[in-house]
Amino acid sequence: MEIKRYFVIGNPINHSLSPKLQNYWIKQHNINAVYEKLKLEENEIESFIDKIRNQKIDGCNITVPFKKKVIPFLDKLSFEAEKTQSVNTIINNGGNLIGHNTDIYGFEKAIKSLNFDMKGKKVLILGAGGVVPSIIFALKKMQASQIILTNRTKKKAEDIKKQFYDLVFIDWGQVTDFDVVINATSLGLNNEFINLDFSNSGDKKLFYDVIYNPEETNFLKEGKKLGNQTENGKLMFIFQAFEAFKLWHGIEPKISSGTLEILNND
Ligand code: ATR
């Protein structure tokens, strides 16, 4: 049988650890497949997706900034992808290209594996980028009581409100009372600080960062110093990949200490 080909597309794409993880599982399960990263320009998306249609490629993941841009070229969206207008996984189901969103599952599983009960919690989200609609969807599913959004560019936060009507906004620079604060900005990827003051926010909250490389951002360091529980985005990343793997290969890959280790810095 011919080797199956999978990709993660985005721009930039160099930082993506998806190939490392997917190829590790592919090997572990003796699947005849290969998973690569591919940097695309926006005008190349259509022809790339045509290749999935023509079975030259068997499926793909999508990362920043194309999670919404792929949608016009697909035949169908899963319920979650439709609700969030965000697709991170494409499968070819007998000629029908279906867009899935496994980021939601990833976030939900990551929170559950902390044994953290999100029900009734007040959540402050920093940022309004590509992954935020998925996080909001998952938070609502877990029955968070209030979701507060803050983003440097107000327009982007307002666009998200069109999808989720009962959000609260605060201006960038302000901090409200919260039980959980989530960094969904890109600040921290290169050791930046987030210019927000959490020193009056109390302690024993959950500081969650979507970033997992570096393992501990300045945001998490600060949270820890102030006496809070902290968690990075590594499990979210692993669980979104787990669900994509299952969609393509029909197998649940193993998540072991080895899986966690291969994502550590080389
Ligand atoms: P995209 O915006 O293309 O979806 P992303 O990496 O998913 O990209 O999102 C980046 C997030 O980090 C955005 O919320 C961005 O804020 P803006 O909407 O104002 O661009 C936020 N971000 C990046 N650099 C920032 C900075 N220096 N200060 C504050 N927020 C920043």
Domain boundaries, the chain: 4-101+235-264, 104-232
Q: How far apart are CA 107 and CA 136, in angstroms?
A: 10
**CA-derived radius of gyration, the chain:** 18
> Taking residues 83-112, what's their average pLDDT?
97
The burial class, CB within 10 Å (0-12 / 13-18 / 19+), for 119 is exposed
In 3D space, the residue among 206, 257, 242, 263 whose CA is nearest the CA of residue 29 turns out to be 242
Topology adopted by domain 104-232: Rossmann fold (3.40.50)
CATH node for 4-101+235-264: 3.40.50.10860
pLDDT at res. 264: 83
Please identify, by atom number, the ligand 1 atom nearest to the C-alpha of residue 185: 12
Q: How far apart are CA 182 and CA 39, in angstroms?
A: 28
Query: What is the pLDDT confidence band of residue 260, given thresholds at 50, 70 and 90?
Result: confident
Q: How far apart are CA 42 and CA 44, in angstroms?
A: 5
Question: If you measure from the C-alpha of residue 189 to the centroid of ligand 1, how many angstroms do you get, rounded to a whole number?
Answer: 11
Is the pLDDT score of 178 beyond 60?
Answer: yes
194 lines ligand 1 (CB under 6 A): no
Please identify, by atom number, the ligand 1 atom nearest to the C-alpha of residue 126: 14
Q: Which of 185, 187, 196, 213 to mutate to test the pocket of ligand 1 (most atoms within 8 A of CB)?
A: 185
pLDDT at res. 225: 98
- Give the chain's mean pLDDT: 96
> Taking residues 168-197, what's their average pLDDT?
96
127 lines ligand 1 (CB under 6 A): yes
Task: Name the DSSP letter for residue 216.
Answer: S
Is the pLDDT score of 261 beyond 70?
Answer: yes
Decide: 37 and 6 in contact? Cβ < 8 Å.
no
Q: Do domains 4-101+235-264 and 104-232 have the same CATH topology?
A: yes
The crossing angle, in degrees rounded to 10, of helices 154-163 and 132-141 is 40
**pLDDT tens-digit profile of 136-175?**
999 999 999 999 999 999 999 999 988 898 999 999 999 9
**Tokens representing 72?**
């016009």
